[in-house]
Amino acid sequence: MLKIFELIGRYFILMGKVFSRPEKAAIYRRRIVYEMEALGIDSIGLTAIISVFIGAVITLQMCINLDSPFIPQSLIGYATRETMILEFSSTVVALILSGKVGSSIASEIGTMRITEQIDALEIMGVNSASYLILPKIVAAVFFFPLLTILSIGIGILGGWAIAYLTGIMIPDDYVSGLLLDFKPYSIVYSLIKTAVFAYIITSVSAFYGYYAKGNSLEVGAASTRAVVVSSVVIMIFNLILTQILLI
Amino acid sequence: MIRAEHIEKSFDGRKVLDDITVEFETGKTNLIIGRSGSGKTVLLKTLVGLHEPDAGSVWYDDTCFTQLGFRERKDIRKDIGMIFQGGALLDSSTVEENVRLPLDLFTRRSEAEKRERVDFCLQRVRLADAHRLYPAELSGGMIKRVAIARAIVLNPKYLFCDEPNSGLDPQTSIVIDNLIHEITEEYGITTIINTHDMNSVMEIGQKIVYIHEGRKWWEGTKEEILHVDNRELNDFVFASAMAKRARTNR
């Protein structure tokens, strides 16, 4: 138990360093753009592929399980939309990105730690925590919500495509379901969750990388720990945010 | 001048540095020598503030470095250049970006002035055409030379080198040694080098400090080191000389 408190304490001390005044804003701007490409743009492909298939599978399963003359088919479009917006495109995509982006951040920073690159920055008088971690957090917090919007769009499109291609339901019913009882706040809720998850993924992964010790085995272990812990923290915050924002 | 006074440092209850007091002279190539695990690197990292000593203090001229906070240390750190054992170049940056980073962060020079300074430093280490290469594309010797260029780009007053020859062949080692020594003399820098290479000691050492089991056992010049009545130091020097002779005979 004491160890968990020590860990949380170290995390907040690191975040204190991360959010201290940056050395030179221009350098940070350049790094944020670089990180947006590395963490965000490079994740578009994975997000798009997973979203289109999940959207299609949700529609298929709804068609199979809601096969009743008493249930209008438009509800399938409605359910697909709600599932994509409320949970899949924010929470599940965040869990997937914690695997891709989180492990990449932890191993990148961990390798920099064990090869003394972080020491080299410190010697130059650079706040290494802020220089390395802050651009990643800012880039992810601003870019991941765009991935969520993309995922919602592509997932819904995937559902429509499977309806159209297999003829399992009438595509027009699917579209009318999409327009049924739409609450724009659901999108806001989803984007807020994604921004929080983006912060969790980047900061927790960076934390484990920054304090990596020893050799490449330790970097691998730090990377695994980063993914596991950020996934668990995402699930906890999913519950907390749903309670706060929806109920 | 850099002075360490009664430095002590332990890791997990194991004492690595034990009451080390030593002064490194301005404008000279100072060498810290000793076996692997003797505490040389910990001492060097304590001098530059990467490790905080458990006891004792480090002085840069008249300023007590160990009493300063992170932001206050910045002024001294701008005068420090350091070459790490593996080079410690940023993997995601090109050679030019690596050398240029301190200029970007701490100066208000124009683009042209920065480019000129980077070109000058890379030429100084004989790497005029390596601007666009990444560290993964460089040999061990080239990495060390880029690290030297980055270390001198802000005209440091103090240069620290942690095993600059490790992993290099004897010829490249001599090139690196001479380069560091030339830069030290040229700019009047206080240079401190960690090494266990007796070739370096005899080639460029002006003041030598021998560390054994975390303690300072001896200090003097390279002329004196061959006539010292100190068994541990003699064993170290003799073992190094044997290795050198074996290499030569081969």
CA distance B114 to chain A (A): 14
Residue B88 has pLDDT above 80, yes or no: yes
Nearest Cα to Cα of residue A79 among A162, A185, A193, A181: A181
CA distance B67 to chain A (A): 16
In chain B, % of residues over pLDDT 90: 48
Q: Using CB atoms, which residue from A116, A119, A126 is nearest to B105?
A: A126
Residue B149 has pLDDT above 60, yes or no: yes
- In this prediction, residue B241 carries a pLDDT of 60
Q: Using CB atoms, which residue from B73, B86, B105 is nearest to A23?
A: B105
| Residue B174 pLDDT grade (very low, low, confident, very high; cuts 50, 70, 90) | confident
- Residue B83 in contact with residue B164, Cβ under 8 Å? yes
- In this prediction, residue B246 carries a pLDDT of 54
- In this prediction, residue B74 carries a pLDDT of 83
Q: Using CB atoms, which residue from A23, A24, A115 is nearest to B86?
A: A115
CATH number corresponding to B1-79+194-250: 3.40.50.300
- In this prediction, residue B244 carries a pLDDT of 58
- In this prediction, residue A96 carries a pLDDT of 95
Taking the CB of residue A113, how many other CB atoms lie within 10 A of it?
Answer: 22
Alpha helices (H) along B125-230: 140-152, 170-187, 198-204, 222-225
- In this prediction, residue B203 carries a pLDDT of 81
CB contact under 8 A, A112 and B73: no
Q: Which residues contact B135 (CB under 8 A, 6 or more apart)?
A: B87, B89, B90, B91, B93, B95, B98, B143, B146
- In this prediction, residue A23 carries a pLDDT of 73
Mean pLDDT lowest among A40-54, A124-138, B91-105, B234-248: B234-248
CB contact under 8 A, B50 and A127: no
Indicate the DSSP class of residue A108.
H
CB contact under 8 A, B84 and A116: yes
CB contact under 8 A, A124 and B77: yes
Q: What is the DSSP string of A141-155?
A: HHHHHHHHHHHHHHH
Q: Using CB atoms, which residue from A111, A115, A124 is nearest to B102?
A: A124
A119 to chain B: which residues are within 8 Å by CB? Answer: 45, 50, 84, 88
Q: Which residue of B41, B50, B52 is the best one to mutate when testing the A interface, meaning the one whose CB has the most A CBs within 10 A?
A: B50
Question: CA-CA distance, B197 to B163, in Å (whole number)?
Answer: 9
Write down the mean pLDDT value for chain B: 88
Taking the CB of residue B159, how many other CB atoms lie within 10 A of it?
Answer: 23
Say how many residues make up chain A.
247
Average pLDDT over residues B194-216: 87
> Which ipTM did the prediction report?
0.83
Question: CA-CA distance, A102 to B21, in Å (whole number)?
Answer: 45
Q: Which residues contact B159 (CB under 8 A, 6 or more apart)?
A: B80, B81, B82, B83, B151, B152, B180, B183, B184, B189, B190, B191, B192
CA distance B76 to chain A (A): 9
- In this prediction, residue A6 carries a pLDDT of 92
B78 to chain A: which residues are within 8 Å by CB? Answer: 124-125
- In this prediction, residue A247 carries a pLDDT of 78
CB contact under 8 A, B84 and A120: yes
- In this prediction, residue A220 carries a pLDDT of 94
- In this prediction, residue B234 carries a pLDDT of 82
Domain regions of chain B by residue span: 1-79+194-250
- In this prediction, residue B247 carries a pLDDT of 53
- In this prediction, residue A68 carries a pLDDT of 83
A115 to chain B: which residues are within 8 Å by CB? Answer: 86, 88, 91
Q: CA B247 → CA A194, B36, B250, distances in Å?
A: 62, 20, 5
pTM given for the model: 0.86
- In this prediction, residue B136 carries a pLDDT of 94
CA distance B30 to chain A (A): 19
CB pairs under 8 A between A and B: 52
What residue ranges of chain A have pLDDT lower than 70? none
